Structure 1
Amino acid sequence: MPFSLHREIQVLHVDDDPSITDLTGTFLEREDDRFAVQTATSADEGLENINDRPPDCVVSDYNMPGTDGIEFLQAVREEYPDLPFILFTGKGSEAVASDAIAAGVTDYLQKGSGTERYELLANRIRNAVRTRREAERADRQEQLMRLTEFNGDTGGFELDTESNTVVLTAGTRRIIGRRNQHEMSLEEALKLFHPDDREDIQHTLDKVLETREELYDTWRLQPGDGEERLLDMTITPVVENGGEVTKLRGAGHDITEREEHERTARQRQKQLSLFFEESPLGAVQWDSEFQFERMNRRAEEILGYSEAELCGESWEGIVAGDDRGQVGDAVEKLLDADGGTHVINRNVRKDGEAITCEWHNRVVTGADGDVQTIFSKFQDVTDRERRKTELEEYETIIEALSDAVYVLDEKGQFTYVNDELVELVGYDRETILGNTPSLIKDEEAVQRAEQELGRLLSSDGPEAVTFEVTVYPREGDPIVCEDHMGVLPYDGEEFNGSVGTLRDVTEQREREAELRQTTNQLQGVIDSVESAMWIRNTDHEYVYMNQYHRDLFDIADDTDIAGKRAADLHSAEVAEKFQQNDQRVYETREQVEIEEVIQTDDGRQYFLTRIVPLFDNGSVYATCGIATNITEQKEYEEKL
């Protein structure tokens, strides 16, 4: 029977989720009984199936482990440049679509819920296969006409199925270089072809005998002169009156010189058609002088112009003045068919808004190498470039920080550390990145960090937490650090990781321990003094207070004041006054003497307060205060 568009359609569906391939296969075969769906769960398995028996169409997911859908497409295109390939993916973005188009995808479709998406997929498969079959049939007919009429690079043969004798026409004898040999055995004829093609040719002959259908294919002819030719052959069964197939007749067409050029042209035309009709990116076609010829709807949305408004206009009208030199150089290279394929520049919309766009350009040349037209696809990357600039600024700021900074991904692995962290722990950056905090922390510290992270991720958790950990560097003594940690921004429930700083507080903790020891030694002496005494660190936290101070403000003896601020122990008015006094000392680095009135549980009382800074290596690390009760003196003065 003649070549038919109604024969079975072999579909290979590649997706790492078997439930999706099963569901898709069921819907497709239910939608059209011509569909025969074969499945594979990886790109490697898909390539094996294609090499064993190429299907009529490949449907592939994008996001697969190992080899993703784009890499799979590129591998298929290396061996099967015309095989219909549809990217059917749940991950839809302009970047994925752009990469797919560049790799030569036939169609691009996002997954969705409902049977409508499978109906649409079935329709896309039918269209892709129909387009390819019609193109191939038209190619053969056109080749036969041209070769017969002009070149004569066509020939015929007739195979007697009983004797396996092949009778050759004059055209065939000319093609194989045996002008005086009118017939040969099938075995001898098969030896004229590439060894890898002989089994396939025999299989095709057997299939024509079995199915009584006309078949065609292209094989590599090696006539013996050291040259290899491509032969496009059509084989037709001859049925005698008795209903038996007694002969096979065929026509061979030498398509060597035309095949590569026409295949490239067909592939380019398919890509450019998809480029305009389906691309989520902006698409523009330019003439040989780089003036607008046409543009798609997305390009109109990005630039704010209609196609009619820009048709015939120069590229300069949409490019910011400062960028015209850069773009002009790229245009010149494109018109010379010498590069300029990728450019990022600022464009100007119709409303005057300046935006940043990324352009990918492709030149179409004629047989003489002259530029005929130029196609561009582009997207608005203003936000991306701004984020890139902000990220560079943030990284500059982070590198300038004196604290160690780290970023962990959702798996708890280091993805970024600044120079200070590298210096703190003593490991090189390559060792740290990709490793987990267990490299520098013991199990207890790791568990503490995980607990704090759990607090951050809870619905009512804080935005950041600060806790103390011990870090174990590659060499040297353990380092006591304050870990200030938060989570990276994320949408929905998809946790992206955490970020934090490590501040070395080893010396600070040692000083505080020494201070507490000294304080304890002086406790007995100081508690006997009839004045309030205290020490507060730079975080305004109490390190010490004597008994008089406790009694004055009614603070119980069993109250642990270490680490507590004035606001935790006193009224807001008193706490604010104490903090202001300490701040004066930190700013002036000198003793402060104040007469002040303080409201206590025994009423208003007058104090003469002296606060002095405590230094360590030239830095103020705490304040020490003594307040003498002068209430009786003030009352006496008032009576006088």
Structure 2
Amino acid sequence: MSGEQKGIRILHVDDESSFLTLTKSFLERGDAGFHVDSATSAEEGIMLLKSGNYDLVISDYRMPGMDGLKFLERLRQDGETVPFIMFTGKGREEVAIEALNKGANHYMQKGGDLKSLYGTLAHAIKEVVAKKRAEEALQKSEEMYRTLFENTGTAMMIVEEDMVISHINDEMVNMSGYSKDEIEGRVKWPELVMQDDRERMLKYHRLRRSDQEVAPKSYEFRFIHKQGDARDASLTVTILPGTKKSVISIKDITEKKRMEDELRRSGTLYRTFFEVTNAPTVVLNEDGTFYRVNKEGAKISGFTKEELEGKKSWTEFIANAEDLERMKNIHRLRRDNPDNAPMHYEFLFRDRYGNLRNIYVAAALIPETKKSVVSFMDITERKQMEQEIQSILESVPTGMFFIDFKDPDGRFVRVNKALAERYGMKPEEFKGKTTRQLFPNDADNYIKSDRRVQKSGKPRIEKIRKITTLEGVRWVRLDKVPVKDADGKVIGIIGSEVDITERKQMEDQLKESELKFRTIFDRAVDGILVVDTDTKRFIMANEAISRMLGYTLEELLNMGPMDVIPKEQQPQRREELEKAFTGEIKGMPNIPFERKDGRVIYVNINAGLMKFHAKTYLAGIIRNITEQKRADEERERLLSELEAKNTELERFTYTVSHDLSSPLFAIRGFTSLMREDLEQSETENLNSHLERIETAAVKMEHFLRDTLQLSRIGRVTNPPEDVPFGEIVEDALEQTSGELKANNVAVSIAEDFPTVHVDLVRIAEVLVNFITNSIKYRGDQPQPKIEIGYRVDDKGTVFFVKDNGIGIDKSAHEKVFELFYRVDTGGEGTGAGLAIVKRIVEVHGGRIWIESETGKGCTVCFTLPVR
């Protein structure tokens, strides 16, 4: 629309014709410059927009077929930029937000004082249209400038204050290799600049916006072509007057720089060798700065080569002071007396991100220079493994040892603290000694056992046996595992000596009272488990828990609490169990236990600590609450269903209130117009206004009638009975026989219908509705047809009424069952029929849906309880 046009042409879209008339009257009376055209559907509005120029569109939200949001979305998808105001009675905040997000210019809610409402609307219209016209004028001036920008013959670009490239010309496209779509609005200019030029150019960019006179206007830099290669360029730049935007012209001087680059390539052979090695390698200057860094060297540091070479010192990567001082001394010694400087050593390395690594170094001085070449090997994993093994050995209470088979009698290489202290020794006293030296009395048996492991190559568990230590007589279990080299040869053993004295003593003591306790223990209805708080293993279990979990008692006594907890629940339950071991909690409700057969049951545990012979145990009484839990879950399911019903009721209430508000709004509006006409003694429109008020009142009456009928379904019913479905079909056809004959409709009926258990009157009402709809929407068929039948598929027995009428678009298949939805907004009725039908079918426990395409007839399918 031209910015010179004074009047404003408005297209108003709303399915309520009375509201269209009301809006047109108020707007055109209030401002002679307004001209309002009306459309009763979004589809009609689209046709009018194609045939005429409009400055603005006003649209309702809730309309049959295409609603206001879809109408707006369709316009924007088609490239239509006409301003759009959503003017609706649906006042929810999420609708306003969605409308504005989809491109609406304004959002207003119907209601309140009419003069104030339409005054606000008129002001919004003028404001939105004025803004649109100003934008169009600005666009014309920008197009003129763009023509000059595109035809200078020099590569040019415009850069915003945030460094985003907003425009480039064709010459810049040719120079950079990028298309305009790839650059404009997507790329910041530093992305096209080589790394070592970026900081300098960023400084110029900031300076140009703070002190334009000081900032250089011409300089050289290297930019990155799309193909990835660097190009040398000279640049001229200035600021667009009155803005923060830069206009930049660029000239490619790559060829000029080529000869200079050739001179630098003389060192290619050296650098190639330097780069291809897989080991991180660097060359250091005498002052400790990096002279050269290969790819792997840069990678391990976390920096780029450009960030390292000539800028950083190796001392910045030393993690601790002790290593730093030692390595500085080595660095100086290598330059003063290379033969005495160590070539290999280790240190702790810290990369750019603070990650620590153990590094093995190989270093040497480059002949005839003060530069040294240094290669690194990352030995972090090896160090961690050594530390982890040592940490494990020292932390476990079990005695651990490693014996090397290089000596025929077996020589101890390492033992942990727990084992050494058991025999009154220190770990270092074991190291290097043979089994015969340490245990002369038992050496033959020990060595014989070790040889069995060496020969078989398999782990061995020694029987429980009695030994004498500083603590007196102890009972232990000895486990041995073979250690093999890369060829599979057994070169030693790792052994663990577990002290089970306390367990054995407890077992002996428990036997004394077992006969008295066992009767009560085994006859208990609830399951009982006793856990050793140190080993976290079951030491007692009764028959009830055995039956509950499906394990034998022997199996349970080789298990612990975590063995019966489902894997996914173990992290959470482990914390609860630890609290029970300390007495912090006693009750553990709703705990999942996994039976031997994999089924999960739920139990309540009442646990308590007990002391026996100076040891603490946790005893738990376990009650199976699986059935109770299922009952609770069923209650929750019923509550969830109730919540869903409440949600459905809320949606129903909203729909009714919205559709009843439209005729009320029309009555108020035309009453207001009549009052104004009477005040001005204008009576020519009174009859027209009264007719519209009467129409709105009748519409409201029909809405209320259908709403009442829908609410009675499920409350006012006839007792269901077994009825052959064919009899219901005959009843419905008899009720509609007059309409069928008058419209020359051919009806075909299936044979051998099944018997259904239903309210006969209500289901006949359902069929009558389907038949009358098929007649009403038969279209211009020369021979209308209706087929009533059924089929049996994966949904069970499905009844259907099929016609060859105009059909229903797929987008409306679910909407037609909404209360007061009408496919034909110009037809009679309130649109409640199919909502009532759906309710009847659902009350019978059935489902209902539509299978149809526009122009290909319609099939309504539904299910009922079949005998």
Whose radius of gyration is greater, 1 or 2?
2
TM-score by length of 2: 0.28
Query: Which structure exhibits the higher relative contact order, with contacts defined as CA atoms closer than 8 Å and separated by 6 or more residues?
Result: 1
